[in-house]
Structure 1
Amino acid sequence: MKRRITFIQRIDAGFDPQQVVLTSSSLSVRDLDAAREDRFTVELDQLPEQLRGALEHSSGLHLRWASERPYDALAPFASRVSPGLHVQYTPLKTDESPEALCTLLRAVVGPDKDAQFKDCTKPEESFIEPPLSTNSASSASLQYHTHLPSVKNLVKYIQNDVCAKESTECHTSANALLTADSIDIDYDSSSRALTVSGFWANPPKGDWTDQIMKPSSSADQIEFGLLGAEPGLEPEEIKMGGLLAVVGQDQKLKPTMFSFPSRHQHLIESSSYTVSFTPPTGLHPEMSITIPRSTLKQPPAPNDATCALHTYLTLPSTIFGDQYQLATTDPLFLESHNLAVLKAHAGEMDLEAPDWVVKNWGSSWLLELATPPTQEQDQTPVPSNWTATIPLHLRYLPPSESGYRTAHVPWPIVFWACTTEDEEGMGPNPFERTHLGWDGLFGPRTTFYQLSPAGERLVEDVDVPVLQLSGEGMFQGKFIELGTCVVISLGFLWVLLKLVRVAWSSGVGANGKSGRVGAHDKKD
């Protein structure tokens, strides 16, 4: 197993060389204020049989989990996904759909009353096919998402099924993931190795104080880095410098400095956004994305790049957009919502289907936002907010005891995408993060500048009115069921009465007892 531990200090953070001490058998850090990434790489033949069986049927499997807590995604870890668990999956053969992946997801998610987990039966039924990608290196053939506030079931699975019983280090590292801001799990059939990465934007408590022991096996390796990041000479570059070491091999920390191109950049000037639903939501809620006008400035992209502000929505099956409404070219509609164009969408698009009929997890939407002109931004006399609104619709949900159900809607991500006409990809990046669900929808030379969500919780809870099963009031399930039976019975009796009256009048006429028919016979 290989392990890479990277600390990223902010430019204004102080550092004392005594905070990092390297010996022949260990490396110690003390009172370190920095972001941290831990990455573990395990060979396929070292994994348990159940997990190995699921991976052997995959050409690529990429899991991305993000916390509902806001955090600062600083460079080179600036990329974001919406809160919850995202799965990008490409089967090894298109005609195979192993149940092992769904079994694995149930173990990782641990469905409960708060998870709103769409039961995974087969990937082609529960997953969706993402929009056509322009970058095959960052795309998969199937996509999945579920609401997941905590990764406690994932940690439990790693400790019970992946870690060796005698490995206290593995159990401790897995338990640390409970406080992570984001977690990545990657498998690629070409490398036949599984990589697990955890990211902490800040220390969970106080500052980082840890002791990293030399691996017991010569086949294992622990790489350590204490680095700082700043913009490079080119707009798409990141320059990093600091100290590196291999624990148990190097006698002292080695200074280093290097630069590399990165698709994901951190905005130098703080730029944030908030998300809300305009009350009352009803069955047709409207999502509002609010950004301070003072931060709506073009990012420092290359001169030949074209930049536009985008948002990427990950919507559960309980809420959806109307593809025909959002794809309209009506200028009045677009201007009233500050939208430019619907770039891509995928997933369940049936406008009438209730939620219990929908089998897959939901839908995804990429929209370009119509930002105000630069002149208008400069002429604004006082700071104010700019808002884009997205009309959405709620599905009919199963009845409940209270008469309401809650739809958990994750905040979308908002970012600038600056694209050049160059079709060649960027060079290697040691911290590259791909398969985010939305990065594959842009060309390989696109640079992304992420806006930071500003809220206490990055998930909106929308109360959906449903049929009430119990309690007081006339709209309980039993009263509606009884009323339905009464109305159907009365309707049946009314139709039966009409049929009897028609049959009776026809019978009388045939016997010559109707005055009208008798007169006709007399005339004949």
Structure 2
Amino acid sequence: MRQRITFVHEPQDGIDPKSIGIHTNTLSVSGLKAAREDHITLSLDELPQELRVALSQTKELHIRYVTAASYESIPPFNSKLSPGLHVYYTPKTEVGKEGQEFSDLLCGLIDTLFDLKDKSLCQTPEISFTSLPSKSPKHKSSYEFYLRSSALGGTSALQSYFKRICSSTSCLTRISEGATAASIDLDYISTTGLASLTTSWSPRTWPSFAISKISHTDRVELGILSNEKPIRLDDLNMSGFLTVLGESEKPAPTMFQFPSRHHRHPAKFSSSFIEPTGLHPTLQLTIRDSQPPKNREGCSLNAHLMLPRSVFPDKYQFRDALFMASKNLTALRHVTVPVDLEAPEYTMALWGSSLLVELAPPPPSEESWTAEIPLHLRYLLPSESGYSSTSLPSPVLFWACEADEESKLEGSPFDRVNLGYDGLFGDKTLFYHLGRERGEEGYKEVSVPVLSTRFNGEMEVGTALVVALGFGWVLWKLWGVGRGVGYGSGRGGGGKVEGKEE
């Protein structure tokens, strides 16, 4: 097991390296205000047997869990995802082919780790997942799955599961701290044979922190770093102290520079539904300014949405140039296919759909502006009140820019890939993320008109009465017609014919 714990703080929040306590197999630090990332790397042999068997049947698996709470980011932890559970899966063979045993195990694994409230939400990749293309040759096309936080039992099941891997006090404490994390990533790539667990926290004050080696073969690294002014445009420059537990007698000063794929943009945004919503709600994005990233040209501003099965886009609406211009939109860059435009929500097997839209910002200024994304609601199950509700996770907004030719983005020790939208761009793409406005909720609720069950009994009786009356009226009309032209009318062809008298 390899562990890397990284604290990143602002320059004014630095600490005295003498306050870092280093003992034979234990390290402690207190009173540090910083963002934190724990990265644990494990071989398959170190995993529980059922997880080891399952992962051995897949090519790649990337699971991302993001909290719904609003949080701040600090370089190099700037990547963003909509709140909820994201799963990206690449099978060894094409889904549905013989030998793909993991296909039947994947949804069971997700349920074990995140406690699905409704087991029918995830059945098999063939039924519940959608196809996700990729423009990057390094990231193969995969299958995508998403669930809102409300469909999960939280991270308690995940914490209980990983407590089976370690038993030391410090390890158990760190797993318990995952409940307050901003994001949790699980990754497995068959070519390396390694699995990793990455947990990230937004900047906060850590009253105390201690870590111990689990076994003598473990490698534990601790870094306390600060962001410095970068030398190159695409890079991050960091300085601070590094310590290897059991090898370092005191923190070693360090300074290094590396390229970064994800950056922070100073603009903020908020989202809301235009009232009244009806069955065709419009999501309005309010963006604080339209300034592109500094010293960058040819950048595009994009919105990436994860739409649960109750909400869907109509790609044909995005083909009208005048309509798009009126909404401050440029183009539809990606939408899950196929999207059934007629199916009710309760008949759907797929998780939903993902949407990438390029926005059309006005000329650069610091004034707020809006963009509108048209959406549609599926029919939901009837309710007594005649209304139901669904929620849409907050979208991710970012400027996408081309990096310099000499940039090697994969050289970052904190590089975060396989986020769904990044595969829709080239390998040399930089992402400048806009943050959510302070207090902006992770999910937007929308009221949906549905069939009311309040008067079901009266409606059933009334319907039966109307049908009976209508059937009686039809019989009465048929009887009347039969009397007028039938055998009993006296005017038909059934009367006696008299012969002619000679």
What's the TM-score, normalizing by structure 1? 0.86
How far, CA to CA, are the matches of 1:401 and 1:107 in structure 2? 34
In the TM superposition, what whole-angstrom CA distance separates every residue of 1:73-109 from its partner, at most 9, and x where no partner exists?
A: 2211111000000000011221126321111122233
Q: 456, 461, 486: which is aligned to 1:507? A: 486
The match for 1:246 is: 244
How far, CA to CA, are the matches of 2:253 and 2:476 in structure 1? 96
Does 1:288 pair with 2:299? no
The match for 1:219 is: 217
Larger CA deviation: 99-108 vs 308-317: 99-108
Larger CA deviation: 365-374 vs 98-107: 98-107
| 421 and 161 in structure 1: CA distance in 2 versus 1, 3 angstrom threshold | closer
Letter matched to residue 138 of structure 2: A
The match for 2:458 is: 479
In the TM superposition, what whole-angstrom CA distance separates every residue of 1:138-165 from its partner, at most 9, and x where no partner exists?
A: 4541000001159765433442465257
Does 1:389 pair with 2:372? yes
Letter matched to residue 252 of structure 2: K
How far, CA to CA, are the matches of 1:389 and 1:273 in structure 2? 13
Give the secondary structure class of the aligned counterpart of 1:34.
Answer: strand
How far, CA to CA, are the matches of 1:391 and 1:506 in structure 2? 61
Alignment map for 1:460-471 (pairs within 5 Å) = 460-470=444-454
Instruction: Specify every segment of 5 or more residues in structure 2 that has no aligned partner in the other structure, as ranges.
Output: 496-502
Letter matched to residue 271 of structure 1: A
Shift, 1:246, TM fit: 0.7
The match for 1:521 is: none
Shift, 1:388, TM fit: 0.3
How far, CA to CA, are the matches of 1:150 and 1:252 in structure 2? 47
The match for 1:299 is: 293
- Superposition RMSD on alpha carbons, in Å? 2.8
Count of paired positions: 491
Shift, 1:8, TM fit: 0.4
How far, CA to CA, are the matches of 1:373 and 1:17 in structure 2? 48
Shift, 1:350, TM fit: 1.4
| 219 and 149 in structure 1: CA distance in 2 versus 1, 3 angstrom threshold | farther
The match for 1:186 is: 187
Shift, 1:348, TM fit: 5.3
In the TM superposition, what whole-angstrom CA distance separates every residue of 1:440-486 from its partner, at most 9, and x where no partner exists?
A: 0011111110000113421111122223334xxxxx33333444444
How far, CA to CA, are the matches of 1:493 and 1:186 in structure 2? 69
Q: 125, 128, 132: which is aligned to 1:126? A: 128
The match for 1:380 is: none
Instruction: Specify every segment of 5 or more residues in structure 1 that has no aligned partner in the other structure, as ranges.
Output: 378-382, 471-475, 519-524
8 Å CA contact 1:19, 1:32 repeated in 2: no
The match for 1:365 is: 355
8 Å CA contact 1:24, 1:247 repeated in 2: yes
Does 1:418 pair with 2:401? yes
Letter matched to residue 112 of structure 2: A
In the TM superposition, what whole-angstrom CA distance separates every residue of 1:205-228 from its partner, at most 9, and x where no partner exists?
A: x43411222x14222111110111
How far, CA to CA, are the matches of 1:494 and 1:91 in structure 2? 63
How far, CA to CA, are the matches of 1:118 and 1:411 in structure 2? 24
Letter matched to residue 313 of structure 2: G
Shift, 1:133, TM fit: 1.4
| 31 and 354 in structure 1: CA distance in 2 versus 1, 3 angstrom threshold | same
Letter matched to residue 321 of structure 2: D
In the TM superposition, what whole-angstrom CA distance separates every residue of 1:228-261 from its partner, at most 9, and x where no partner exists?
A: 1245222211111111111111111111111111
How far, CA to CA, are the matches of 1:30 and 1:194 in structure 2? 30
Shift, 1:53, TM fit: 2.4
8 Å CA contact 2:48, 2:165 repeated in 1: no
How far, CA to CA, are the matches of 1:265 and 1:409 in structure 2? 25
8 Å CA contact 1:155, 1:174 repeated in 2: no
The match for 1:319 is: 311
The match for 1:473 is: none
Letter matched to residue 311 of structure 1: A
Alignment map for 1:79-478 (pairs within 5 Å) = 79-94=79-94, 95=97, 96=100, 98-112=103-117, 119-130=121-132, 132-138=133-139, 140-148=141-149, 153-160=154-161, 163-164=164-165, 166-203=167-204, 206-213=205-212, 215-267=213-265, 270-293=266-289, 296-302=290-296, 305-326=297-318, 328-331=319-322, 333-347=323-337, 349-374=339-364, 377=365, 384-419=367-402, 426-454=409-437, 455-470=439-454, 476-478=455-457
8 Å CA contact 1:347, 1:362 repeated in 2: no
8 Å CA contact 2:113, 2:161 repeated in 1: no
Shift, 1:429, TM fit: 1.3
| 502 and 151 in structure 1: CA distance in 2 versus 1, 3 angstrom threshold | closer
How far, CA to CA, are the matches of 2:232 and 2:74 in structure 1? 18
8 Å CA contact 2:17, 2:241 repeated in 1: no
Give the secondary structure class of the aligned counterpart of 2:30.
Answer: strand
Letter matched to residue 389 of structure 1: E
In the TM superposition, what whole-angstrom CA distance separates every residue of 1:11-36 from its partner, at most 9, and x where no partner exists?
A: 33242334323233321111000000
| 249 and 161 in structure 1: CA distance in 2 versus 1, 3 angstrom threshold | closer
How far, CA to CA, are the matches of 1:60 and 1:168 in structure 2? 32
How far, CA to CA, are the matches of 1:233 and 1:104 in structure 2? 44
How far, CA to CA, are the matches of 1:178 and 1:150 in structure 2? 17
Shift, 1:306, TM fit: 1.4
| Sequence identity percentage | 39
Give the secondary structure class of the aligned counterpart of 2:220.
Answer: strand
Give the secondary structure class of the aligned counterpart of 1:174.
Answer: helix
In the TM superposition, what whole-angstrom CA distance separates every residue of 1:100-128 from its partner, at most 9, and x where no partner exists?
A: 1111122233233xxx7752111111011
8 Å CA contact 1:138, 1:439 repeated in 2: no
How far, CA to CA, are the matches of 1:81 and 1:354 in structure 2? 27
Shift, 1:298, TM fit: 1.5
Give the secondary structure class of the aligned counterpart of 1:451.
Answer: strand
Shift, 1:170, TM fit: 3.6
Give the secondary structure class of the aligned counterpart of 2:76.
Answer: coil
8 Å CA contact 2:47, 2:165 repeated in 1: no
Letter matched to residue 320 of structure 2: T
The match for 1:65 is: 65
8 Å CA contact 2:74, 2:203 repeated in 1: no
| 169 and 424 in structure 1: CA distance in 2 versus 1, 3 angstrom threshold | closer
The match for 1:21 is: 21
Shift, 1:55, TM fit: 1.2
8 Å CA contact 1:163, 1:170 repeated in 2: no
8 Å CA contact 1:140, 1:435 repeated in 2: no
| 496 and 172 in structure 1: CA distance in 2 versus 1, 3 angstrom threshold | farther
Letter matched to residue 298 of structure 2: T
| 151 and 235 in structure 1: CA distance in 2 versus 1, 3 angstrom threshold | farther
